[in-house]
Amino acid sequence: MDATRVMDWEKVGGGVRRKRIISRLTFTIPSAVLFILVVTAIFAPLLAPYPPDQIALLDRLMPPAFVEGGSTAHLLGTDLIGRDILSRVIYGARISLSVSLLVILITASIGTGLGIISGYLGGRTDAFLMRVTDISLAFPAILIALLFAAILGPSYWTVVLAISLLGWAPYARLIRGEALRLREADFVAQARIIGTSPGRIMVRHIFPNIMNPLIIMATLSVGFVILTEAALSYLGAGIPPPTASWGNMVSDGRNLIDTAWWISLFPGIAIGLVVLSGNFLGDWLRDKMDPRLRQI
Amino acid sequence: MEDVLLEGRDLKKYYPVTKGLLQRTVGWVRAVDGVSFKVERGKTLGLVGESGAGKTTTAKAILLLERLTSGNILFEGKDLYQFSQSQLKTEYRPRVQSVQQNPWSSMNPRMRVRDIVAEPLVVNTKQSKKQNQSRVLELLEQVGLNSGHAELYPHEFSGGQRQRIAVARALALNPSLVVLDEPVSALDVSIRAQIMNLLKDLQEQYNLSYLVIAHNLATVRYMSYNVAIMYLGQIVEYGEAEELFKRPLHPYTRALMSASLLTLPEDDGQGTEQIILSGEMPSPLNPPSGCRFHTRCTEAAPKCSQEVPPLRNVGGGHEVACLRV
């Protein structure tokens, strides 16, 4: 009797410990991956073995070093016109990561602003802003982005604007819900009793208290932005050549996928890593913040 | 001569009940239905009643969180609804502050105590940061906290300490009236007396008026000068606390008292009679005819369901709304 109880306790203790280790790993691994990628992007000129758009026609379509016929001169092989894949993946990180960062900053700011205004003021303002949000959510984002890119012509800023154009809507919805909940909070009523203006209430009392869901939403959308950029590039409306982005690299390799698979694979792996890391970090944050969310 | 700071005259707050696609109004919830009262300068009025009696709605109207359906609130003899927006902001808001029931939700969890207590000053005055800070420390000291507490966040305090912070915040602007909505009901019994004594001391020191809302009779008796007993949106009995507690006239007041184990040694002979009310408070959507209490009253007579009893003076400022008294 007693022995089994001890064993049970050990089991329980082990389960808790295992859970804690897993929880720690879901934080350390993705943040390490993202950290390394960001450092790589920043120090790209020092790390890349070749300039990203240096053409070497003699070395074209060289397979990666670990495959037969590959050479250590080009660790990850070369593309159709002999550009070094490793260098292009490293430089591509600059574009892909900075695009996501910019898009997230823009969409999160617009979405948060509109969401707080909508949720706190309510009434007609809310009805109007939420219909606009619904319309934005109803449009197929990629189509609008394509249209936008077609009008302005493909460029770095077109990509950023095209993805931001509709990307704010999910933020607005989420934040509005939070603001709606906080509007009824006692401390907001107290702020009104004190005489705080609606603007100050929104900035000082509502905004700091929606930080948790906002951070989680932002981390989760890293993947979405990189994938949208890749899709746009794949469709030819993304970052224009010769600049390397992970998206347009995958797109470049699509015709040669059965012979020169390495052209698409390595940028694809990079995209996958960032998306996964973003999602894991977001999940981790959500789990961490949950009890505090309920506490408020 | 009584010095009235705030007076409510025939306050009514009806909430519409809507139905269907077109939001047709099919009825009204009469949360507050013809309530009049006076808060004297430097004194305390206690509002007592069950949940749903309209106490909190009355308080919200005074704090301008709800707009009344009809009735007037007079502040120092001037009608609030005649005030312009800017007059409200400069002449009324800063002078009427409140302490809420739940000290865990009445403070922004992301702000430091220093900023929570300074917020009324930042919003309403043009003082420098330094002046605000010294005022904050002065306030914290007055409510029994110290300067070390200023840097902490609300979740680092106990309920009693948080309620002290709430009191400090309410006093920041030197208000004339503080609305205390169940100020101690969320606290441990052992802490209640501390907070009540603090409030009484501050009242004496600054000549504050309080409007105390509570369902706990002991709290009200200890804090109040005048007491109003509310039932279903109306005041059924009104008078000076000592008089009212010694000689409760309305059957509802007597039932409340017998239910609350209030008996003090000097109340000998009272409270022995147990009155147990049956049923729940009727819906304010469809209040009973005549006296609103007749459905649960142990002494109801046939006329009680037909005649509406007026609130009438039975001597010494003691008012009661009952046909049988």
Distance CA B88, CA B94 (A): 9
The stretch B147-167 carries a mean pLDDT of 89
Let me know: does A292 contact A112? Beta carbons within 8 Å.
Answer: no
User: pLDDT-based confidence at A13, cuts 50/70/90?
Assistant: low
Q: Which residue has tokens 């603001």?
A: A179
The stretch A114-123 carries a mean pLDDT of 92
Within-domain flag for A95:
yes
- Nearest CB to B89 within list A195, A200, A296: A195
What tokens appear for B225 in the block?
């000068």
DSSP assigned state of A54 = -
Within a 13 Å sphere around the CA of A224, how many CA atoms are in the beta-carbon half? 17
Please name the residues in contact with B32: beta carbons below 8 A apart, sequence gap of 6 or more. B11, B12, B13, B54, B57, B58, B61, B68, B233
Within-domain flag for A1:
no
Give the pLDDT of residue B212: 93
Within-domain flag for A4:
no
Tens digits of residue pLDDT in A230-247: 788 778 777 887 888 888
User: In the predicted model, is pLDDT for residue B263 greater than 60?
Assistant: no
Task: Find the Cα–Cα–Cα–Cα dihedral A45, A47, A52, A58, rounded to 10°.
Answer: 130
The stretch B70-90 carries a mean pLDDT of 88
Handedness of CA A186, A192, A198, A201 (dihedral sign): negative
User: In the predicted model, is pLDDT for residue A154 greater than 90?
Assistant: no
Give the pLDDT of residue A294: 40
Question: What is the residue type of A145?
Answer: A
Distance CA A188, CA A182 (A): 7
How does the average pLDDT of chain A come out, rounded? 83
User: In the predicted model, is pLDDT for residue A144 greater than 90?
Assistant: no
Q: List residues of chain A with CB under 8 Å from any CB of chain B.
A: 185-187, 189-197, 200, 204-205, 208-209, 211, 295-296
User: pLDDT-based confidence at A182, cuts 50/70/90?
Assistant: very high
The stretch A189-213 carries a mean pLDDT of 90
Report the DSSP beta bridge partners of residue A94.
Answer: none
Lowest-confidence pick of B68-72, B106-110, B267-271 = B267-271
In chain B, what are the domains?
Answer: 4-16+27-320 (3.40.50.300)
The stretch B241-254 carries a mean pLDDT of 88
Number of structural domains (chain A) is 1
Tens digits of residue pLDDT in B166-206: 999 999 999 999 999 988 888 888 888 889 999 999 999 99
Give the pLDDT of residue B270: 52
What tokens appear for B80 in the block?
């609030």
User: pLDDT-based confidence at A296, cuts 50/70/90?
Assistant: very low
Tens digits of residue pLDDT in B284-294: 888 888 888 88
Taking an 8 Å cut-off on Cβ atoms, the answer to whether A189 and B109 are in contact is no
Taking an 8 Å cut-off on Cβ atoms, the answer to whether A296 and B109 are in contact is yes
Let me know: does B96 contact B179? Beta carbons within 8 Å.
Answer: yes
User: pLDDT-based confidence at A295, cuts 50/70/90?
Assistant: very low
What tokens appear for B202 in the block?
């501050």
Q: Are strands B44-48 and B226-231 parallel, antiparallel or unpaired?
A: parallel
pTM check: above 0.90: no
Interface of B with A in 185-204 (CB under 8 A): none
A284/A36: higher pLDDT: A36
- Nearest CB to A209 within list B98, B100, B109: B109
User: In the predicted model, is pLDDT for residue A100 greater than 50?
Assistant: yes
Give the relative orientation of helices B113-124 and A186-194 as an angle to the nearest 10 degrees: 40
The stretch A104-120 carries a mean pLDDT of 94
SS3 B43: coil
Query: Which residues on A lie below 8 Å from B93 (Cβ)?
Result: 193-195
Give the pLDDT of residue B266: 59
Within-domain flag for A271:
yes
How many A×B Cβ pairs under 8 Å?
Answer: 59
Question: What is the residue type of A48?
Answer: A
Within-domain flag for A5:
no
User: pLDDT-based confidence at A14, cuts 50/70/90?
Assistant: low
Within-domain flag for A252:
yes
User: Residue A32 sits in which domain range?
Assistant: 14-295
**Domain CATH code at residue A214:** 1.10.3720.10
A283/B207: higher pLDDT: B207
Taking an 8 Å cut-off on Cβ atoms, the answer to whether B123 and A194 are in contact is yes
User: pLDDT-based confidence at B148, cuts 50/70/90?
Assistant: confident
Nearest to B73 by CA among B147, B173, B6, B16: B6
Taking an 8 Å cut-off on Cβ atoms, the answer to whether A208 and B89 are in contact is no
Let me know: does A277 contact A34? Beta carbons within 8 Å.
Answer: yes
Within-domain flag for A231:
yes
Taking an 8 Å cut-off on Cβ atoms, the answer to whether A194 and B110 are in contact is no
Please name the residues in contact with B217: beta carbons below 8 A apart, sequence gap of 6 or more. B48, B245, B256, B257, B260, B262
Distance CA A194, CA A121 (A): 18
Taking an 8 Å cut-off on Cβ atoms, the answer to whether B105 and A204 are in contact is no
